[in-house]
Amino acid sequence: MQVTIKQVAQRAGVSVATVSYVLNGTGTVTDETRQRVLDAVAELNYQPRYAARSMRGRSRTLGVTLSTLPGRLAEPALTEVLAGVADAAVLRGYFLLLATANADQDETELCLSLARTRRVDGLVLLDMLVDDPRAQALAGAGIPHVCAGPPPAGIDSPSVAIDMHTAAVDAVRHLLGLGHRRIGLIQLPSELAVSDLIVEGYRQALTEAGLPFDPTLVIESGRTEEDGYQAMTELLASPKPPTAVLAGSDELAFGAMHALNDACLIVGRDVSLVGFDDLPQAAHVNPPLTTMRQPRRVQGQQLTMLLDDVILKRNTSLRTVTLSARLIVRRSSGPAPVS
Partner DNA sequence: ACACTTCGCTTAACCGTTTTACTACTTAAT
Partner DNA sequence: ATTAAGTAGTAAAACGGTTAAGCGAAGTGT
Residues that bind DNA (CB under 7 A): 2, 4-6, 13-21, 23-24, 26-30, 32-33, 46, 48-49, 52-53, 55-57
Q: Which is nearer to a copy of itself, 34 or 297 (CB)?
A: 297
Q: Which is nearer to DNA, 55 or 329 (CB)?
A: 55
Which of DNA, a copy of itself, none binds 100 (CB below 5-8 Å, type-dependent)?
Answer: a copy of itself
The yes or no reply on residue 233 touching a copy of itself (CB under 8 A) is no
- Using CB under 8 A as the binding rule, the residues of this chain from 191 to 230 that contact a copy of itself are 224-225, 229
Min CB(59)–DNA separation in Å: 12
Which of DNA, a copy of itself, none binds 98 (CB below 5-8 Å, type-dependent)?
Answer: a copy of itself
Amino acid at 316: T
3-state secondary structure (DSSP) of residue 149 = coil
Residues 6+ apart with CB under 8 A from 210: none
Produce one character per residue of 180-199: b if its CB has 16 or more CB atoms within 10 Å, e if not. bebbbbbbbeeebbbbbbbb
Min CB(170)–DNA separation in Å: 50
Give the C-alpha separation, 62 to 89, whole Å: 8
Residues 6+ apart with CB under 8 A from 25: none
Which of DNA, a copy of itself, none binds 276 (CB below 5-8 Å, type-dependent)?
Answer: none
Nearest to 196 by CA among 164, 151, 232, 149: 164
Q: Which is nearer to a copy of itself, 27 or 280 (CB)?
A: 280
The DSSP secondary-structure symbol of 282 reads G
Residues 6+ apart with CB under 8 A from 166: 201, 324, 325
User: Interface with a copy of itself by CB under 8 A: which residues?
Assistant: 2, 45, 47-52, 54-55, 59, 61, 66, 70-74, 76, 79-80, 82-83, 86-87, 89-91, 95-102, 113, 116-119, 224-225, 229, 254-255, 257-258, 261, 280-281, 283-286, 288, 297
